[in-house]
Amino acid sequence: MSEDQFQDLLRRYYDPEKPETVAQLISAFSLDVIPSRFHTLLPPVILSDTCPYCEDIHLQRKPRTRGGYGGQEAFCPNCGHRDVPYCACPNCRARAAEARRRQEQAQRDLVHSCYSLAEWSVPEVDDLSLHLRLWARVLFTHAVSEDLRLALPYAARQQPLSPLLRHVNDMVRALFHARVIAPDPDSSLSAFDFGEGTPETFFPDRVDWAFLPGLSGGEKLDYVRKLDLSLAQAVEHTRGDAAAHDVLRGLWLEIACLEAQDFLAKRLEEYGYHDEGAGTKTVSVLEDLVTRFSLGEVCHVIYIATRNAMDYAHRKDLGRGHALNLVPGNLEMTANKYEAEGWLKAYGRNARCPQSTLSAYFFDKILGLGEEYFSMRAVDWETDRETGVTEDGTPAGRGT
C-alpha cells in the first residue's frame, strides 16, 4: 500500500461519522487482517520525550482506535521500558536495585557510626554483680557462636535461656548496660529502627549480640574461666557468711519463681488464656510460695488453684479479667489449706516447661543439686548445707 493509500485509510477510519465499518475498510483496501486485529495496523503516536535508557529513542503510545480507546502509557519500542512508576523492565529493576544498594550502604554506615565497637571495653569480672556474672556465664553456655563472636539469647534451642521471655529481655538489657554484650553493627538492617533517619533504637530480639566485644577468642575463653572461678568462689564464700548466703538463696527463689510463673502460664493456656503475664499480685503470691514450698509442691498448688478458679469462673460465666483475678487468691488459699491438711504433693517437672539454661546451670553446676532441687524446699537445702560442709570444698548438695 502506498503512503497516500495509507493516509486515505486512516482518514476514512478516523472519520467521526464512521460511514464505513472496519470490515468494509478491510475489504475496500484488500487487507489481510481480521476486524478485531485491525488496530494493530494503526501507526503509534510518537512522543517528544526520549527513553531514559536508550539514546535518541522516542517514547511511543499505542494508537487511538476509532472508538476513542488508546494506550495511555508511553513506552520505549527498543527496550520495553514503560513510563509509569511501577515499570518492572530490566533497566528499571536494575536501577531500583542500585538505589536500594546505595540506601542500604548509607544505612549500614549510619549503624556503624552509631554502634561502633572500636572503643568498646568490657568490664572486669570482679566489677560485675553476682547476677550479671551468672547471666553472662549462662548466656555463654546457652548460645555463643562457635567462633565466640556472637551471643544468641533468643536462639531456638531445646530449652529457653530463661523460663520467661520477659526475663530473657531483662537479662539481655542488663548485660548490655554492663557492657558484656553489644549490638553488632553488622546485624541485619531490619534489627534497627530508622524511624527518624538515624538508627537510635534497635530491636533486642532481632539484633546479633556481640559477645565480650573487643576481646580476642583466647581472651574470651579466659574471661569465661574467670566467671567460673568467681562463681565457684561466691558459692564457697556463702558458707558461714549469712549475707552472702542470702544472695545465693535469693537466686534460688528468683529462678524458682520464674519457673512457677512459666507453669502457671502454661496452665492458663490450657483454659484458653494465652500470653497472660502474671500480674504484680500473682507474682508476689508465687514469691511467697517458693519461699515456703518446693517448686514441685508449688506446681501442685498452681494445678489445683487454676482448676478451682477456672471451674468457678466457668460455672458463674465470669468474664476474662474477672476469671484471672481469681487466680492469686486461689493460689494462696489452696497453699494454706493443702499445707494445713497435709495434702501437698511434689509434682515433677511438666513436659511443657522444659528446664531453662539458667535454671539448669544454677541448680546443676552452681549448687550441684541436679533435678533434686525440684522437690526440695530452699529452707531444707540451707539446713543441709549447714550440716553437710565437706572438707574438700565440694558443694554440700550431691556434687556433680
List interacting residues with Zn ion (CB under 5 A): 51, 53-54, 76, 78-79, 81, 87, 89, 92
Distance CA 310, CA 245 (A): 39
Query: Nearest approach, Cβ of 75 to Zn ion (angstroms)?
Result: 9
Sheet harboring 181-183: ordered strands across? 150-151, 209-211, 181-183
Which CB atom, from 92 or from 151, has the smaller least distance to Zn ion?
Answer: 92
Question: Is there a contact between 163 and 262 (Cβ–Cβ < 8 Å)?
Answer: yes
Query: Nearest approach, Cβ of 103 to Zn ion (angstroms)?
Result: 19
Distance CA 388, CA 395 (A): 9
Which CB atom, from 72 or from 158, has the smaller least distance to Zn ion?
Answer: 72
Query: Nearest approach, Cβ of 275 to Zn ion (angstroms)?
Result: 46
User: Which cell is 151 given?
Assistant: 551471643
Query: Nearest approach, Cβ of 361 to Zn ion (angstroms)?
Result: 58
Which CB atom, from 55 or from 391, has the smaller least distance to Zn ion?
Answer: 55
Distance CA 174, CA 162 (A): 14
Which CB atom, from 85 or from 195, has the smaller least distance to Zn ion?
Answer: 85
Query: Nearest approach, Cβ of 50 to Zn ion (angstroms)?
Result: 8
Closest CA to 151 of 100, 213, 236, 61: 213
Which CB atom, from 57 or from 346, has the smaller least distance to Zn ion?
Answer: 57
Question: Is there a contact between 396 and 384 (Cβ–Cβ < 8 Å)?
Answer: yes
Please provide the DSSP assignment of 75-96 as one string: B-TTT--BSSTT---HHHHHHH
List b or e across 330-340, with b for residues whose CB sees 16 or more CB atoms inside 10 angstroms. bbbebbeebee
Which CB atom, from 59 or from 309, has the smaller least distance to Zn ion?
Answer: 59
Distance CA 129, CA 342 (A): 40
Question: Is there a contact between 20 and 28 (Cβ–Cβ < 8 Å)?
Answer: yes
Please provide the DSSP assignment of 248-271 as one string: HHHHHHHHHHHHHHHHHHHHHHHT
Please provide the DSSP assignment of 15-32 as one string: -TT--S-HHHHHHHTT-S
Nearest-10 crossing angle of helices 320-341, 280-292:
20
Query: Nearest approach, Cβ of 78 to Zn ion (angstroms)?
Result: 4
Query: Nearest approach, Cβ of 74 to Zn ion (angstroms)?
Result: 11
Query: Nearest approach, Cβ of 64 to Zn ion (angstroms)?
Result: 23
Which CB atom, from 53 or from 273, has the smaller least distance to Zn ion?
Answer: 53
Which CB atom, from 51 or from 258, has the smaller least distance to Zn ion?
Answer: 51
Which CB atom, from 76 or from 175, has the smaller least distance to Zn ion?
Answer: 76
Query: Nearest approach, Cβ of 44 to Zn ion (angstroms)?
Result: 14
